[in-house]
Structure 1
């Protein structure tokens, strides 16, 4: 009898989690699908690898020149994406910052939750600062930091949709990059704002 009750409880928890995750996935996908953020991220990342691997300085500079416009387009797309999410109500954009998915976590542990609207604003501003290269970084350093900003944005979207554990596992599987390394590699402004929001 006890085993049956435990099975029912676990099944119920799984169902609640799954339904909540699907709701967040549909919400984010419905907005993100209106933009080309993911495609542009791939274009920029591949361009960085090509520019950094080019042995001819003149050809390398040509690639960097082409990437300038791609970065601007990506920055604008991320800004528009963040602006659209900002217009949503607070309730559906709130998500748990606990390491794993817990049923009704936002309601049970409101102090361990964050707002996707604020998080995307942090990422959008971080990408904008780097595209404008406020700090005057060398192209290699700018490419490294902007890549980290973009991957952390991707991690945040997966975290919102699923959980921190799933987002981190996906980042390790696809990019072999731990979450802590991403946070350490972004700009100081992004890191401070991100840590404040996600540990509040």
Structure 2
């Protein structure tokens, strides 16, 4: 029994470590050590749950999902118009499931899950980059003086690069206007639009 427990911890550390290496390589907030601890912790909770749960052996293990949810929420960052850390939060969630699977003795299932996690984290970013080259969504916030520039001129620039757009909001303070546009199109088209907007002296400021 002791050897079996040690084996489960070793496997939890191994599979968690493999995923953690990828997260550490990309300098994510939940890196090598964190992912290993999540995997081992989930494994241990599952073991304890089966030993102490009595007629309800899943009682403790069921709360792992809730606890991991709070941990995952801690790595999600809101900044400006972007939300970062969702992939890392999802990785934490799935690695905890791997740890639970190992703790319950489902080694092959846990190994398969770990394999697919690594494939998704390593391979799919290349697929995403290809998709972005064809279709990328960006929110541009642009401020300008109505006396010098106009919404129509901005939207004409968007249309010139064949970018699809819709205005999300437009705030007016006298002649000072600030608008947010939701824009979709290929990466190169976005780059050309940003370059022109950077060179446009009549635009006070913009960000995305």
TM-score w.r.t. length of structure 2: 0.27
Between structures 1 and 2, the one with greater strand share: 2
Larger relative contact order (CA 8 Å, sep ≥ 6)? 1
Between structures 1 and 2, the one with greater helix share: 1
* Structure of larger gyration radius: 2
